[in-house]
Amino acid sequence: MGTRASSKSELMITAPGSEEYSVLIKVNEKGLNTDHSMFFIRMILVATLVLLIDDLIQTHSHSNNAAFACECLQPKPPIQALNESKAVFSGTVTAIKSGDSGKTATIDVERAWKGISNDTVTVITGLGDADCGFPFQEGKEYLVYSHDVEGPLYASACSRTTPLSEAQEDLKVLGVGYVPIQDTSGPNSGGINNSFPFIVGIGAVIAGTIAYFMLRKRK
């Protein structure tokens, strides 16, 4: 904190490193009188305390932002990332839903290299920088390296997940991949197709008919 006289009738008090806040005290030509000296001293102390508190708050805020920012290691090579992922595929994001703990992206799969049997999947990710969430955008294409987190597929900003237009290096290594089949049983479902029960029913009717005629011939 420093003081300087800006004129014969003004006294400027400024905290170190801060030109934004200052205390300007008007004095008469005779200077500060005894009756008002304690009042001015208190003003100076209060102003200094306010400046110090503001500086501490800003410093603490910057420190917290740095402490909670997502920090990633160097991405692994495409083949190693493929081997360690639950599923690897490319596709277009058709919908994004945000929740309290993260986002869910629905993706129409165009090509896959591992772990995908249906043409539509859902992938969860974090909300932002602090939780290393990947910034999916609706309508854009991505190459996704996902992991299995207690069931749902999860994509992180620390994985090799990237916009498809920037994935030329990965695509050269991964090869052509395969096209997943269309499945209306739901995203991420690798289960039985909806037509399977109908096929089983037809087979049972045919088998029953054959058995019926064979029994009649024996009689």
Question: In the predicted model, what is the mean pLDDT of the chain?
Answer: 75
For residue 187, the model assigns a pLDDT of 47
For residue 150, the model assigns a pLDDT of 67
For residue 67, the model assigns a pLDDT of 45
Do the beta carbons of residue 79 and residue 173 sit within 8 Å? Answer: yes
Q: Which residue has the higher pLDDT, 57 or 73?
A: 73
**How sure is the predictor about 207, in pLDDT bands with cuts at 50, 70 and 90?**
confident
Q: What is the mean pLDDT of residues 96-120?
A: 93
Residue 60 has pLDDT above 50, yes or no: no
CATH class of 78-174: mainly beta
**Amino acid letter, residue 141:** E
Q: What is the mean pLDDT of residues 180-198?
A: 53
What percent of the chain is modeled with pLDDT above 70? 56
Q: Would you list the domain boundaries of the chain?
A: 2-67, 78-174
Do the beta carbons of residue 85 and residue 75 sit within 8 Å? Answer: no
* pTM of the predicted protein model: 0.55
Q: What is the mean pLDDT of residues 168-184?
A: 88
Do the beta carbons of residue 76 and residue 173 sit within 8 Å? Answer: no
Q: What is the mean pLDDT of residues 9-28?
A: 50
Question: What is d(CA 189, CA 15) in angstroms, rounded to the nearest whole number?
Answer: 64
Do the beta carbons of residue 117 and residue 92 sit within 8 Å? Answer: no
Q: Which residues of 13-41 are buried (b: 16+ CB within 10 A; e: fewer)?
A: bbbeeeeeeebebebeeeeeeeeeeeebe
Question: What is d(CA 39, CA 45) in angstroms, rounded to the nearest whole number?
Answer: 10
